């Protein structure tokens, strides 16, 4: 599909490996802190030496309240929940074709998942679309009522995520559920191409036992 090769105007999207269970707990803690309750956030970090060490590497030595972490919510979530290599650099699910093919889709907002949600037909298994929607927009204002994860420092934009169990479920359902393609699909083979490369990323996440985070790069 040359159209995927030539797209240049839409934002680039990456699918990053995350600790899905930690992400879920951290989101709840950050939401509570906005409401004035730092207890969940403090307990999360005080009970986990690994997280304390991660903060210490970023010069956060003590934590008595949310304001002691000098990052917005998007940055906290990204810095704490992302999976890293042994040298501390961000890990990748795929460094080759799948990442490039899904990175910038020349339709709507540039997310291949937006295209998939619009033009993939699933008659019996609605959970596939529920999972796709969570991965595509689960951290967006349209879903959670605020844009704190979409508009982080330096243009950091976290769009949605899946935990480890949801990654397993989506991978299995894409492989074993009958799905079709809308007759009005604008790009011939678009749905099939997206599913092909998304399946590669899901397989990588399952092999690494990680969740997945969709991140947008403006």
For 115-136, the three-class secondary structure string (H helix, E strand, C coil) is: HHHHHEECCCCCHHHHHHHHHH
Q: How far apart are CA 111 and CA 118, in angstroms?
A: 11
Do 64 and 172 fall within a single domain? no
Q: Where do runs of H (alpha helix) occur along 47-189?
A: 49-57, 73-81, 97-103, 112-119, 127-137, 141-144, 164-176
Do 31 and 121 fall within a single domain? no
Q: How far apart are CA 146 and CA 159, in angstroms?
A: 12
Do 113 and 209 fall within a single domain? yes
Q: How far apart are CA 87 and CA 84, in angstroms?
A: 8
Do 121 and 59 fall within a single domain? no
Domain end point (choices 55, 81, 107): 81
Cα–Cα–Cα angle for 203, 91, 77, rounded to 5 degrees: 100
CA atoms within 13 A on the CB side of 40: 15
User: What H or E segment, with its residue span, contains residue 197?
Assistant: helix 190-208
Do 29 and 61 fall within a single domain? yes
Q: How far apart are CA 43 and CA 54, in angstroms?
A: 15
Do 34 and 93 fall within a single domain? no
Question: Tens digit of pLDDT per residue, the chain (218 long)?
Answer: 444 444 456 789 999 999 999 999 999 999 999 999 999 999 999 999 999 988 998 889 889 999 999 999 999 999 999 998 888 788 999 876 777 778 878 888 989 999 999 999 987 767 999 999 999 999 999 999 999 999 999 999 999 999 999 999 999 999 888 889 999 999 999 999 999 999 999 999 999 999 999 999 97
Domain end point (choices 60, 81, 102): 81
Do 62 and 146 fall within a single domain? no
Do 175 and 71 fall within a single domain? no
Do 100 and 204 fall within a single domain? yes
Do 56 and 100 fall within a single domain? no
**Contacts with 116 (C-beta within 8 Å, 6 or more apart), sequence order:** 132, 191, 194, 195, 198
> Number of folded domains in the chain?
2
pTM of model > 0.85? yes
Domain end point (choices 62, 81, 100): 81
Q: How far apart are CA 187 and CA 112, in angstroms?
A: 12
Domain containing 27 equals 20-81
Do 14 and 25 fall within a single domain? no
Do 153 and 63 fall within a single domain? no
């Amino acid at each position: 599909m040359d159209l995927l090769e030539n797209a240049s105007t839409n934002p680039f999207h990456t699918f990053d490996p995350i600790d899905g269970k930690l992400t879920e707990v951290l989101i709840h803690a950050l939401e509570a802190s906005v409401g004035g309750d730092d207890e969940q956030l403090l307990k999360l970090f005080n009970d986990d030496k690994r997280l304390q060490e991660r903060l210490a590497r970023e010069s956060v030595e003590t934590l008595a309240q949310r304001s002691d972490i000098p990052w917005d919510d998007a940055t906290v979530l990204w810095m704490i929940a992302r999976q890293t290599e042994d040298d501390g650099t961000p890990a990748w699910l795929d460094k080759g074709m799948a990442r490039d093919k899904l990175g910038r889709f020349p339709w709507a907002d540039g997310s291949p998942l937006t295209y998939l949600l619009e033009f993939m037909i699933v008659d019996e298994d609605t959970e596939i679309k529920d999972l796709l929607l969570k991965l595509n927009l689960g951290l967006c204002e349209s879903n959670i009522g605020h844009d704190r994860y979409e508009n982080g420092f330096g243009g950091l934009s976290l769009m949605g995520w899946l935990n480890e169990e949801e990654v397993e479920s989506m991978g299995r359902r894409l492989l074993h559920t009958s799905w079709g393609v809308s007759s009005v699909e604008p790009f011939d083979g678009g749905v099939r191409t997206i599913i092909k490369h998304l399946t590669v990323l899901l397989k990588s996440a399952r092999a690494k036992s990680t969740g997945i985070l969709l991140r947008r790069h403006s």
